[in-house]
Amino acid sequence: MSDRKTLQTEQISGHPGPVPGMGMQRDLEVCKLIDTTTCIGCKACEVACVEWNDLPFQPTTFDNTYQTMPETNWNYWNLIKFREHVRDDGTLMWLMRKDQCMHCADPGCLAACPADGAIVKYANGIVDFQQENCIGCEFCISGCPFNIPKFNPATKKVYKCTLCSDRVGQGLEPACIKACPTGCLHFGTKEDMKLLAERRAKQLRDVSGFKDAGVYDPESVGGTHVIYVLHDAQNPELYAGLPKDPSIPFAYKAWKSIFKPLGLIAATLGFVGVVFHYVFEGPKREQPEVPPRRPEPPAGRREA
Amino acid sequence: MQRRGTDDPSGLGVYPNWGWSWPMNRRVMYNRASCDVSGKPWDASRKQVWWNEAAGKWVGNDVPDFKPDSNPKDHMGPFIMNPEGVGRLFVPLGAVADGPFPEHYEPFESPVPNPLHPNQSTNPIVKKFKTAMDKYGTPADGFNIVCTTYRLTEHYHYWTKNNPMNVQLVPEPFVEIPEELAREKGINGGDKVKVTSARAEYVAKAMVTKRIKAMKIDGKTTYQIGIPIHWGYRGIAEDEGKTAKDLANELSPSVIDPNAHTPEFKGFLVKLEKA
């Protein structure tokens, strides 16, 4: 989609009137909407992700749950997390949340990454890892508030969901969206998905009796390009620890927004200082060698 | 699918806003039959629908399965799909092997005798095999846990245990056990458990869940456990020696219903212990 925008005509020579199509194209910021209230935990999205991205299998072990594995992995980017939750009125809910990269508008992984070009954010909102530039330092893992990027010890690179940037670039929806049989997954522009999510949350509040239903699109990371509809938006932690206020660790924010500029300013000032010193003081001159002064004999002795 | 309401205003388990049931989101078919001729519910404590004289129509906790403005005085029968308007209890010509009247029988292995007629608790003409394997357990022998078998969305019958993708999703067989029963038996999630029926033993890992609740049957707390059937014989996990080669259906009884010839694999009795 970013490609299409680059090739959009902005000016035409000798053309009367405005450029055709200018201002018509919408701002194509993409978004995935996950309605946790209609997810049935079938894992079709997990399979579609593994298939499309050609991810290698790994053995799993049964761990007292329907969940495929405890966390996403370098070769497993999309995982439904299952939680049995007893509500205050004693009724049971089996919560299922599709866990994957949230594609934050203010990505913690990108803030933390020191390697040039290893993490890029496209104009359409997708945050993508470029493994050929990855140095395997794993800073992105600690920078992510959602515990998503995972390290492959064999290749010494970090991997995560790409929001199927290859498919989206060709105007297709991500593989998980295509596989969903209940329609709990939607894909479109951020604007449209926000509207759809809010409408669904309102429906849940008004008709289905979920008074706290709402949309999860955390402001603390500038909003995300994967948003959820939750039965209980007041307690996102219930959905396998979805953070209420996800945040990028201060050290990483400070590193690039404070310490790095400060360091650069300090370095520049240092250089400027050197230049001014040269201008006003001139070059360093060679000092004549001064022999050490002898101590003068005490006055009384001379007289004596 | 979008209807997720868990409210049940009548307290009768109608859940009118959960999903949708064909036709017209009606939960009980022929529910006019829950009322007497004058349109008053037979049981005041379990009112499905009733005639509202003032409004001149049928109203209720469920969607009336009836012509909504048909006054009871007009004597329209509740079984609206039959020309005579009444239910057909009698199936003539031997069309049903255990007919001609409908009847309730308990499963062949049941935790309780049939409350309708304890002396003939089960269907007298079920088909059974007469091999040494065809033995049946009773609560008196210690088989006091109800066991059911089912399938998972992640697997297809016994085929997909040879497909790495499906095996990755759900790698091993397991037994779903209610939390209370697990606590009683000292079983933790992931422990190996042994399920024993009168016919066979089955060993798999325990999945302790809140999703299966204890039942009160005839005043006694009765537990149910569940076993997904997809493993056994040969498969990726079986060939690697990670799981037993036993089949879940070695536990279940080969008791065949005389009409549809459906085997009774969904309800039988077992014992449960830590393996």
ipTM of the complex: 0.85
- CB < 8 Å to B210, chain A: 84, 86, 92
- CB < 8 Å to A73, chain B: none
Q: Inform me whether the pLDDT recorded for A256 exceeds 70.
A: yes
Nearest to A64 among B3, B169, B189 (CB): B189
* CA–CA distance, A102 with B48 (Å, rounded to integer): 47
Establish if A204 touches chain B: CB-CB under 8 angstroms. yes
Alpha-helical regions (H) of B38-177: 164-169
Alpha-helical regions (H) of A144-290: 165-168, 175-179, 190-206, 250-254, 260-281
Per-residue pLDDT, averaged over B178-186, amounts to: 96
Closest to B177 measured CA to CA, from B229, B224, B111, B221: B224
Cis peptide bond N-terminal to B23, omega within 30:
yes
Q: Distance from A83 to chain B by nearest Cα, in Å?
A: 10
Contact between chains at B165 and A42 (C-beta distance less than 8 A): no
What residues of B are in the A interface, CB distance below 8 Å? Answer: 1-7, 17, 153-154, 164-165, 168-172, 174, 189-190, 205-211
Beta bridge partners of residue A186, listed in sequence order:
A33
Residue A163 identity: L
Residues contacting B234, CB < 8 A, separation 6+:
B162, B245
Per-residue pLDDT, averaged over A20-24, amounts to: 62
Establish if A64 touches chain B: CB-CB under 8 angstroms. yes
pLDDT confidence of residue A298: 63
A 10 A CB-CB count for A249 gives: 16
pLDDT band at A299 (very low <50, low <70, confident <90, very high): low
Sign of the CA dihedral running B151, B155, B157, B161: negative
A-B contacts (CB, under 8 Å): 79
* CA–CA distance, B67 with B70 (Å, rounded to integer): 5
Per-residue pLDDT, averaged over B4-22, amounts to: 89
The answer to whether B134 and B149 are in contact (CB under 8 A) is: no
CATH, range A25-246: 3.30.70.20
pLDDT confidence of residue A16: 73
Establish if A72 touches chain B: CB-CB under 8 angstroms. no
Contact between chains at B153 and A66 (C-beta distance less than 8 A): no
DSSP assignment letter at A256: I
C-alpha B40: how far from its chain's center?
31
What b/e readout covers B216-233, taking b as 16+ CB neighbours within 10 angstroms? eeeeeebbbbbbbbbbbe
Q: Inform me whether the pLDDT recorded for A3 exceeds 60.
A: no
Q: Inform me whether the pLDDT recorded for B72 exceeds 70.
A: yes
Q: Inform me whether the pLDDT recorded for A212 exceeds 50.
A: yes
Cα dihedral A157/A160/A165/A166 (nearest 10): 60
Q: Say what percent of chain B tops pLDDT 70.
A: 100
* CA–CA distance, B18 with B6 (Å, rounded to integer): 6
Q: Distance from A211 to chain B by nearest Cα, in Å?
A: 11
Q: Which residue has the tokens 């031997």?
A: B94
Q: Distance from A207 to chain B by nearest Cα, in Å?
A: 7
Length of chain B: 275
pLDDT confidence of residue A304: 46
DSSP assignment letter at B103: -
Per-residue pLDDT, averaged over A144-170, amounts to: 95
